[in-house]
Amino acid sequence: MTDPIRAERDGDIAVIISNNPPVNALGAAVRIGLDRELKAALADDSVKAIVIRCDGRTFFAGADITEFTKPPVEPMLNVVIDAIEAATKPVIAAIHGTALGGGCEVTLGCHYRIAVPSAKIGVPEVKLGLLPGAGGTQRLPRVASVAAAAEMCSSGTPVSAKKAFEIGLVDKLAGEDSLAADAIAFARECIAKGARPSRDLPVKGTADDVKAVAEANARKFKGFDAPAANLRCVEAATRLPFDEGIAFERAEFMKLMMGSQSAAQRHIFFAERQAAKIDGIGEDVKARPIAKVGVIGAGTMGGGISMNFLSAGIPVTIVEMQQDALDRGTGTMRKNYEATAAKGRIKPEQVEAAMGALTPTLKLEDLADCDLIIEAVYESMDVKKDIFGKLDKICKPGAILASNTSYLDVDEIAASTSRPQDVLGMHFFSPANVMKLLEVVRGEKTAPDALLTAMGIAKKIGKVAVVAGVCHGFIGNRMLMPRQVEAMKLLMEGATPEQIDKVHTDFGMPMGPFQMSDLAGVDIGWHRDPNRIENLRDELAAAGRWGQKTGKGFYDYDDKRRPTPSAEVQGMIDTWSVKTGATKRAITEEEIIERTLYPMVNEGYLILEEGKAQRASDIDVVWIYGYGWPVYRGGPMFWGDLEGAKKIVAGLEKHGFAVAKSLKAKAA
């Protein structure tokens, strides 16, 4: 391996440069090189100041996360940073790109910081279930402030260079294209000021500043270990001398590092990046250009899907059958954009730019010049086949024809065209302009370049995309089904909706199975014949208990949509319990987990056995980004491993489930 660290000279300034693509992670070779060149510069009397900067797209983006599970290699990052801080000559960090985590901590060890305006500086460790463990929690309150440190460490959100300058985290802004030269000039200014160790600066703020951040974010932090640990460390900086604060930080860091939450969050960091990779597609395959997108259906889904592209600057033609539906759909899109602008998240001119790039039409023929067409009409195979047959005649050669179906057979839809190689599924999750997940469904005949194009455009519109194979419900909804079925059975056997939901929300899910039904609509998939009542769901639907939208479903809702258990529903459950011949008994939390979560893990193994997902970690990504599985539990497959295959298999067999072969093999 070539040495990632080299040193250059500019008169009396030594410049230490890292070149460790892709993100200049602070791996062992980088730390060794930094240590070596720092010592050399300090030993050289002709050097008066030292600049540290990086080649490539970014300043150090953090410790090398892949090293966390390997034996440590010296010098450790904190030792390198301490050596930088202890230098008797001024050391200047020259920042571009993203100075994150350990990278930010290196800048804090330096005595001065200069950054280009586009740079971002932050400590995102909390998102990996960690804290800045190389002095960040103790130096940030001194260099910036306690308030800034508490906010940055507990949220993990980086600040812009401009903001960093305002809060004292950056001393000078460089020209966007002249960082190297500006850093040298700044270093010369710093020679007279001398070395200024961050540890000697006074802590700016009090424990109250930490408390304020904790209180303001209590809901957001619920369930996570790391935010509170970050705040405890920043608070420690307000009352402990520097070295004791560092010892406190180290102890808290090690606790997090050994815990399952950080392992889960690090797993998801890599899983998300892995999901973008398509097995069996070589470098020779090139994506097709997508300059214009067509969307069929201006309902909630079609509108949300369109907004993704419009927000990314890609023009959209949206088709509806009736003028009033078209007007309603585009009106809702405008309202959504305006609401976002009112919250200050986008500028008013961005609303106009997005809506200006939208062409509403009643004619399918207007899709002729689109490169990607996404059908988002209701779930009827006949309707979809009819639309795809028409698209086949209208669309230009090479256009990608996608269906947003959540369950239907994409191969059957593709067979209604003469170009099945251009057909695939793009399953968005509601609300489509918000939810990060996209399942890209690869049909039997989908061409590799069509798949590559769909995955590429997904990234461009900010989605986390996962490749799924054709099967009922693909990855996410397929795994949801056994959970919902079992939850209904548990009701018959004596559990209550609120009891089952509570097990799920205590687990960390945003909602349980019945809260989810009430949100999505109990009437979804209902046959709409009020006289045909074959199960509890039919009875709820026939009674107008459609969920939140009708003010009652499995729960009763008040005018603020707050749920309370319903006596009427309990009566229905009791009746159905008798009708189905179930015996009521006390149901434990353990049984609810074994019967609603273990079958999901089992289904995940079946999906892998059938090749409907590329890898277990893709399934985890689907559940984290599509259904709100708590990220600190790493997704159902990761969680299944934590529980242990043996325990899962025993639980499944106890309740009479057919266990996937591969899961059984793992347990054995």
Residue ranges binding ligand 3H9 (CB under 6 A) = 22-23, 25, 58, 61-66, 77, 98, 100-102, 105, 124-125, 128, 130, 132-134, 136, 270, 273
Task: From 667, 606, 609, select the one nearest 641 (Cα to Cα).
Answer: 667
Token pair 């059957």 is found at 412
Is there a catalytic annotation at residue 125? Answer: yes
Of 464 and 468, nearer to ligand 3H9 (C-beta) is 464
Q: What's the number of CA atoms in the CB half-sphere (13 Å) around residue 183? A: 33
Q: Of residues 37, 105, 252, 603, which has the active-site annotation?
A: 105
Least gap, CB of 266 to ligand 3H9 (angstroms) = 9
Identify the sign of the CA torsion 175, 179, 182, 188: positive
Of 128 and 454, CB closest to ligand 3H9: 128
In sequence order, the 6+-apart residues with CB closer than 8 A to the CB of 190 are: 49, 90, 92, 111, 112
**Is the CB of 270 or the CB of 378 nearer to ligand 3H9?**
270
273 or 393: whose CB is closer to ligand 3H9? 273
User: Shortest CA distance to 136 belongs to which of 167, 99, 105, 162?
Assistant: 105
CA angle 262, 263, 269 (to 5 degrees): 85
Q: Which of 85, 125, 439, 594 is catalytic?
A: 125
Residue 448's CB is within 10 A of a number of other CB atoms, namely: 16
The sign of the dihedral angle between the CA atoms of 103, 108, 112, 118 is positive
Cα(238)–Cα(251) distance, rounded to whole angstroms? 17
Round to whole Å and give the CA distance between 604 and 608: 6
Measured CA to CA, the distance from residue 616 to residue 275 in angstroms comes to 10
* Min separation Cβ 581 and ligand 3H9, Å: 53
Nearer to ligand 3H9 (CB atom), residue 68 or residue 526: 68
Nearer residue to ligand 3H9 within complex by CB, 31 or 545: 31
Nearer to ligand 3H9, 64 or 422 (CB): 64
CA–CA separation, 82 vs 197, rounded Å?
9
Cβ contacts of 547 within 8 Å, gap of 6 or more: 517, 518, 519, 520, 521, 522, 523, 553, 554
DSSP annotation of 660: P
| Closest CB 276 distance from ligand 3H9, rounded Å | 8
> If you compute the radius of gyration of the chain from its CA atoms, what whole number of angstroms results?
28
Q: How far is the CB of 183 from ligand 3H9 (least distance, A)?
A: 21
Min CB(620)–ligand 3H9 separation in Å = 16
Give least dist CB 271 to ligand 3H9, A.
Answer: 10
Quote the strand ranges of 536-632, DSSP E.
555-557, 563-565
Instruction: For the CB of residue 87, give the shortest distance to ligand 3H9 in the complex, in Å.
Output: 20
Catalytic residues: 105, 125
